Amino acid sequence: MTASTELGELVVVTGASTGIGAATARELAGRGFHVLAGVRRERDADAIGGPGVEPLILDITHSGHVHALATRVADDHRALRALVNNAGIGVNVPVETFAIEKWRELFDVNLFGHVAVIQALLPALICSKGRVVNISSVGGRVAMATYGPYAGTKFALEAVSDSLRRELAPSGVGVVVIEPGAVRTEMPGRAIATANELASAMTPEQGQRYGALVHAVTAQTASHTEWGLPAEAAAKVIAKAVTARRPRARYTVGREGALIRLLPFVPDWALDRLLAMALRPYYPAHAQRSHDDGSRFRRSGTGDAVPGARQ
3-class SS string, 174-187: EEEEEEECCEECHH
Residues 191, 90: contact at Cβ < 8 Å? yes
Q: What's the confidence (pLDDT) of residue 7? A: 59
Give residue 216's domain range.
Answer: 3-295
Q: Over the Cα atoms of the chain, what is R_g?
A: 21
Q: How far apart are the first and last CA of the chain?
A: 47
Selected catalytic residue, list 136, 137, 147, 251: 136
Q: What's the confidence (pLDDT) of residue 180? A: 93
CATH number of domain containing 55: 3.40.50.720
Strands 80-85 and 131-135: parallel
Q: Residue 36 domain-assigned?
A: yes
How many residues appear in the chain? 311
Which ranges of the chain have pLDDT less than 50? 1-6, 289, 293-294, 296-311
Q: Residue 307 domain-assigned?
A: no
Q: Residue 251 domain-assigned?
A: yes
Q: Residue 309 domain-assigned?
A: no
Selected catalytic residue, list 147, 150, 251, 283: 150
Number of domains in the chain: 1
Q: Residue 250 domain-assigned?
A: yes
Continuous segment of H or E residues that includes residue 171 = none
Q: Residue 16 domain-assigned?
A: yes
Q: Residue 226 domain-assigned?
A: yes
Q: What's the confidence (pLDDT) of residue 229? A: 87
Q: What's the confidence (pLDDT) of residue 88? A: 95
Q: What is the reported pTM?
A: 0.86
- For this structure, is 210 an active site residue? no
d(CA 252, CA 138): 7
Q: Residue 305 domain-assigned?
A: no
**53-68: b (≥16 Cβ within 10 Å) or e:** bbbbebbbeeeebbee
d(CA 184, CA 213): 23
- For this structure, is 150 an active site residue? yes
